[in-house]
Amino acid sequence: MSLVRLTPVPHKKVWGSRHLQPWFPNPEEPVGEFWFEGVKNSPLLIKFLFTSQKLSVQVHPDDEYARRHHGSRGKTEMWHVLRAEPGAKIAAGFRTAIQPEELAAAARSGEILDLLNWVEAREGDTFFIPAGTVHAIGEGLALCEIQQNSDLTYRLYDYGRPRELHLERAAEVSHLGPHAARPMIEGNTLVSCEYFSTEKIRIAGTGVHRRGRDRKAWWIVLDGAVEIGGQRGRPGDVFYAPEGEGELTLSGDAVLLRTHAPA
């Protein structure tokens, strides 16, 4: 089975970090995200995120809304925490249900920060954020994000930064109640939804992994060193396995995420 090593493309962000090791070299200017590119028309996008400030409070539309209004796909995503400073938090959904008319008013006043359900994020945690979930990522985090390949985002609150807000659109797509962001983990599977299924795999020695026909797969190296399909992988490497049947030999001492997209 041939593997494609994807290219990490850095994106500078005001909320980014200079502390990217061991996944990437530390930069002179803050980098917030790495997007892994190299798969044409990919249904998924793999990112690494690094935060030194809070990200905006935002929401993503689902497929139906995105197609109708933008001619694109929606955005369901998951986060796996790679590193977390003490007290680092994420927000997903609201502490209690709110009324539609409350959303825009709370976003304008900043009260939305108090209405959101903030939870502590620790290394190894996983969070699932379906389209329509109002969410935010706090400072002091390094995350691996797996998402539908869309950057369609409606911002509700941005801490006074001079960026556009999208209150009307956000109000149309937001779910206004609580959300259980920590998925029920079954065995090695962290998240399984209609868009992707992600497992956490630990390699100690040599093993052979098989996959079925017509299943695209991404292998994300989080920790350690591994030889995967004849290529060497280190933390921060992402490999893509095209669809089709095959076996993949892995050897080394490493922790990886393997995510599949349906046929």
Instruction: Report the amino acid identity of residue 89.
Output: K
- What's the maximum distance between 2 C-alpha atoms anywhere in the chain? 57
**DSSP result, 48-90:** EEEESSPPPEEE---HHHHHHHHSS----EEEEEEEE-TT-EE
Residues whose CB is less than 8 angstroms from the CB of residue 169 and which lie 6 or more positions away in sequence, other chains included:
61, 69, 154
Catalytic pick from 18, 67, 95, 155? 155
Active site residue 182: no
Task: Give the HSE-up count for residue 255: Cα atoms under 13 Å, Cβ half-sphere.
Answer: 9
Q: What 3-state class would DSSP assign to 132?
A: coil
Give the residue numbers annotated as catalytic, written as ranges: 155
